[in-house]
Amino acid sequence: MPTITTNDLRNGYVLDLDDGLFQVVEFQHVKPGKGGAFVRTTLKNVRTGAVVDRTFRAGEKVERATIDKREMQFLYRDGDSVVFMDNETFDQLTVPLTVLGDAANYIVDGSTVLLLMYGSEIIGTDLPAAVELTITETEPGVQGDRVSGATKPATLETGLVVQVPLFVGPGERVKVDTRTGQYISRA
């Protein structure tokens, strides 16, 4: 693993520290008038999602984890796990839903997903900012109920429930923001 100094930190870097793998969310170099410089960071544990604040001395050496991005095709759901196929080797990989977290709500059969891997361990996914999904079930809009901004719940093909405008019906494709889980527009 490459060793870097805390002066070289950038947002998005993944560090292999003694207490786990952490992604740099934010960092700030601080040079007080008295004493040595230091680096104040906000780190996110890639396995648990916990966010911690940590301070390093300037120039302190840390291990940068090598993260591989592998393109895999989503095949099917199998109980509490999902099955992916590696697009290069055609090997099948079974992944527990807990590893994917909220990303499982935006993946449909046949879609291609970038999996972030540390060695042979999957630590996350790299989803696009928005995905298109089909509405499987929603109530019809009530005639005369046209208050501006009125919404209703809609169940998507992955089982995710989002709030959509009253004019959207079953069978329509909608764009959903993968970061917030909110309806964007019709597709």
Average pLDDT, the chain: 86
Nearest to 158, CA basis, from 114, 120, 103: 103
Classified as helix, coil or strand, 101 is helix
Q: What is the pLDDT of residue 128?
A: 84
Q: What is the pLDDT of residue 24?
A: 92
Report the CATH fold assignment for 3-63: SH3 type barrels. (2.30.30)
Residue 86 corresponds to which amino acid?
Answer: D
Residue 105 corresponds to which amino acid?
Answer: N
CATH number of the domain located at residue range(s) 68-126 in this protein: 2.40.50.140
CATH 2.40.50.140 for the 130-186 domain, yes or no: yes
CATH 2.30.30.30 occupies which residues in the chain?
A: 3-63
Average pLDDT over residues 137-157: 77
Classified as helix, coil or strand, 150 is coil
CATH 2.40.50.140 occupies which residues in the chain?
A: 68-126, 130-186
Q: What is the pLDDT of residue 123?
A: 83
- 0.85 exceeded by pTM: no
Q: Tell me whether strands 61-63 and 51-57 are parallel, antiparallel or unpaired.
A: unpaired
Average pLDDT over residues 39-45: 92
